[in-house]
Amino acid sequence: MTKRILQFLPISGIALFLLILPSGCQRPDPRPNIIFIMTDDHGYQAISAYGSMINRTPNIDRLAAGGMRFERSFCTNSICAPSRAVLLTGQYSHRNGQINNAVVFDSTQQTFPKLLQQAGYQTALVGKWHLKSQPTGFDYWNILPGQGRYYNPDFIEMGERKRLEGYATDLTTDLALAWLERRERDKPFCLLLHHKAPHRNWMPGPEQLNLFADEEIPLPETYFDYYAGRLAAQAQEMRIDRHTFLSYDLKLPWQMNTNADSLQRDSTFAQSEFNRMTPEQKAAWDAVYQPRNEAFQQAGYRGADLAKAKYQRYIKDYLRCVASVDDNIGRVLDYLERSGLSENTIVVYTSDQGFYLGEHGWFDKRFMYEQSLRLPLIVRYPREIRAEVNERDMVLNLDFAPTFLDFAGVAIPEEMQGRSLRPLLAGNTPADWRQSIYYHYYEYPSWHMVKKHYGVRSDRYKLIHFYDDIDTWELFDLQNDPDELRNLYDDPQYADVIAELKAELARLRAQYGDDEP
Ligand code: SGN
Ligand code: CA
């Protein structure tokens, strides 16, 4: 009888029907659980499943081995709070209002966690939030205020602020696992597990302090870039050699900073981080950094050698933070296995945006160039998702919300501008899947001084328009110039390509309703 009724119900109807079954004839809920793991600023270049030349990430690789790994996954606005708002709303920044890190997220908007909650999911958010307004749509939330701290961070648990002793990446995982343990077992769940790491100021955890100690990490080929033909790139302030703080970022004693412009901020920032440590944590820290710092000072680096030495300081701490993320992902995967949840849980690994690991001489993100535009994206769900690499399809963080709703059997609201990845994950790309992506970045003037820009990326080309206090265009041929060093915009040979891309850009802007500027 039940079987016959089910045949006539659509998927979401089935879910509803099962929910309203009187207790006693309850069946296990067929809808998948969701664990969405997102780090802050983790570039794909630092994941071995993505071919990293500089580190190993065995646990992220383990997830990738059992799921689909996307080569062409991108964000729509490469900065933190905007990316998080896109994730929740499935809408571009100009629609959800979170155009930069400064504005406060309007949390009355429709979001996928709210819709899942209404459909009977238990929802939770743990870790970095960064949207200023209080989280909505979660049965449980416990967030790091603002950017969060690495050592002994404060957390705000459902409105109540407490300082926890330990390292942020470990603590965030502890809180997530504790919630999974005490959740109501008869409902499916959706957990957003959002790490602070490996965001600036890249403070390694106690267990990773000694990693890479005697290694030399290879320097990216484009580390010494003079930005010929790229005016906006000439104006940025995100060079490892010039714009990192000696103490806060590179962990040298603040007294070594002789730069009058940065000394004050550097020493204040550094001391506010280091002063949070317990005496034991500080002793373990000093035991490794003091000898390193003495050696650095004795070397007396100058010019290009100093720039290279700074890269080593930067990248090693960054990779140490990533190593802790990877260990902690291992803990989550182990937990799922132990609890029999691996088969019916969708596990996602991604980052809020990409990041420069020395390419063009940079740290940070923001630009529409590949390293910050692209996101690592791995999705595992053994019941439905193929274990393979998707090298062709262009996907966006805009697609996450519709994807989760689709898997949960919840109707995708009209206002959501992304598309469900569910068919792609099953290995079937719809014939009308997007052939280009649209991007728009707004936070200027601000940290790192990356000018406002929007653009289009197709399979082969990228066209960018920088605007506001500048009016310049850039065209890159990603096939012949994957490092994006040669701006072809003024080359007459590309006139047709430019005309086509401009038409595509206009089409995308109309489709998504973006008429700024
Ligand atoms: C902080 C960092 C910046 C970084 C922004 C945005 N400075 O302001 O380097 O670009 O966050 O990052 S810091 O001295 O405070 O660390 S984002 O990922 O949150 O968008
Ligand atoms: Ca970020």
Q: What is the pLDDT of residues 200-232, one digit of tens each?
A: 999 999 999 999 999 999 999 999 999 999 999
Domain boundary (433, 463, 497) is at 433
256 Cα to the center of ligand 1, angstroms:
23
Q: Report the length, in residues, of the chain.
A: 517
36/166 same-domain check: yes
Tell which one of 128, 237, 447 to mutate to probe ligand 1, the residue whose CB is within 8 A of the most ligand atoms.
447
Q: Where residue 419 sits, what CATH number does that domain have?
A: 3.40.720.10
Domain boundary (412, 433, 454) is at 433
How far is residue 491 from each of residues 227, 232, 263, 367, 473, measured CA to CA in Å?
17, 19, 44, 22, 12
368/481 same-domain check: no
201 Cα to the center of ligand 1, angstroms:
9
Report the chain's mean pLDDT, rounded to a whole number: 95
368/477 same-domain check: no
417/467 same-domain check: no
Report d(CA 371, CA 136) in Å as an integer: 32
67/135 same-domain check: yes
Hey, whose CA ends up nearest to atom 19 of ligand 1? 80
3-class state of residue 359 by DSSP: helix
If you write DSSP's letter for every residue of 370-430 in order, what string do you get?
A: HHHHB--EEEE-TTT--SSEE-S--EEGGGHHHHHHHHHTPPPPTT--S---HHHHTT---
Per-residue pLDDT at 13: 45
The answer to whether the beta carbons of residues 42 and 363 sit under 8 Å apart is no
Show the tokens assigned to 219: 């320097």
Report d(CA 282, CA 287) in Å as an integer: 8
Q: Quick one: which atom of ligand 1 is closest to the CA of 201?
A: 16
How much is the pTM? 0.94
Is there an atom of ligand 1 within 6 Å of 41 CB?
Answer: yes
Report d(CA 308, CA 62) in Å as an integer: 33
Domains held by the chain: number: 2
Hey, whose CA ends up nearest to atom 18 of ligand 1? 80
Q: Quick one: which atom of ligand 1 is closest to the CA of 199?
A: 18
Residue 259 lies in a domain: no
pLDDT at 14 over 90: no
pLDDT at 5 over 80: no
- β-strand 122-128 against 189-194: which pairing, if any? parallel
314 Cα to the center of ligand 2, angstroms:
17
Residue 193 lies in a domain: yes
pLDDT at 431 over 70: yes
294 Cα to the center of ligand 2, angstroms:
32
Show the tokens assigned to 252: 């040298």
333/359 same-domain check: yes
Mean pLDDT across 322-347 = 98
For 274-322, write each residue's pLDDT tens digit.
999 999 999 999 999 999 999 999 999 999 999 999 999 999 999 999 9
Residue 266 lies in a domain: no
388/419 same-domain check: yes
Hey, whose CA ends up nearest to atom 17 of ligand 1? 80
Report d(CA 420, CA 413) in Å as an integer: 12
Is there an atom of ligand 1 within 6 Å of 197 CB?
Answer: no
Residue 479 lies in a domain: yes
Is there an atom of ligand 1 within 6 Å of 79 CB?
Answer: yes
Q: Where residue 468 sits, what CATH number does that domain have?
A: 3.30.1120.10
The answer to whether the beta carbons of residues 458 and 436 sit under 8 Å apart is yes
Closest CA to 38 of 107, 84, 93: 84
375/408 same-domain check: yes
Per-residue pLDDT at 26: 62
pLDDT at 79 over 50: yes
Give the residue numbers spanning the domain of 159.
32-203+319-433
205 Cα to the center of ligand 1, angstroms:
19
29 Cα to the center of ligand 2, angstroms:
35
Q: Which amino acid is at 303?
A: G
Per-residue pLDDT at 17: 44
How far is residue 126 from each of residues 18, 86, 192, 350, measured CA to CA in Å?
29, 18, 6, 15
Q: Quick one: which atom of ligand 1 is closest to the CA of 364?
A: 10
Distance separating the N- and C-terminal Cα atoms of the chain: 59
199/334 same-domain check: yes
Residue 508 lies in a domain: yes
Distance of CA 262 to the CA centre of its chain: 28
pLDDT at 19 over 80: no
Residue 183 lies in a domain: yes
Q: Report residue 488's pLDDT band, with 50, 70 and 90 as the boundaries.
A: very high
Mean pLDDT across 94-122 = 98
87/156 same-domain check: yes
pLDDT at 437 over 60: yes
Long-range contacts of 457-460 (CB under 8 A, 24+ apart): 457/74, 457/368, 457/373, 457/394, 458/501, 458/504, 459/394, 459/435
Residue 287 lies in a domain: no
Hey, whose CA ends up nearest to atom 7 of ligand 1? 200
Q: Quick one: which atom of ligand 1 is closest to the CA of 83?
A: 20
Residue 297 lies in a domain: no
Longest Cα–Cα distance of the chain, Å, equals 82
490/398 same-domain check: no
Hey, whose CA ends up nearest to atom 12 of ligand 1? 80
Hey, whose CA ends up nearest to atom 16 of ligand 1? 200
**Count of CB atoms situated within 10 Å of the CB of 300:** 8
Residues in the 5 Å CB sphere of ion ligand 2: 40-41, 80, 352
Domain boundary (382, 415, 433) is at 433
Is there an atom of ligand 1 within 6 Å of 101 CB?
Answer: yes
381/504 same-domain check: no
Q: Which residues contact 491 (CB under 8 A, 6 or more apart)?
A: 475
Is there an atom of ligand 1 within 6 Å of 266 CB?
Answer: no
